[in-house]
Amino acid sequence: MSSLPASNLKIKKRGNLKVGSYADIVIFDPVKIKDNATFENPHQYATGVEHVFVNGVQVLKDGEHTNAKPGRCIRGPGFAEKIKK
């Protein structure tokens, strides 16, 4: 599900679970998954998401945040460090 977007955006070492790549994994219950955000109350976690790993580090365990923050900004080939006027 994630290898095609990573490939289209030319983001290397993402989208596949293999040696040398970064492990970003979401484990969810397809029966219970639900987006709880609304326009009136947009900052709501989805339910049914059990575990999340970012760069191989668990950031959500049994639906609760672990306070780990191993993520980083990924910039594709279209990113310009300095915008010229």
**CA–CA separation, 21 and 24 (whole Å):** 9
pLDDT along the chain (85 residues), means of 10: 83 88 89 94 90 93 94 78 60
The per-residue pLDDT for 67 is 97
Q: Given this model, what pLDDT does residue 80 score?
A: 72
pLDDT in the model for residue 50 = 93
CA nearest 50: which of 69, 67, 33?
Answer: 33
Q: Please state the pTM of the whole predicted model.
A: 0.73
User: What phi and psi, each to the nearest 5 degrees, are found at residue 6?
Assistant: -60, -40
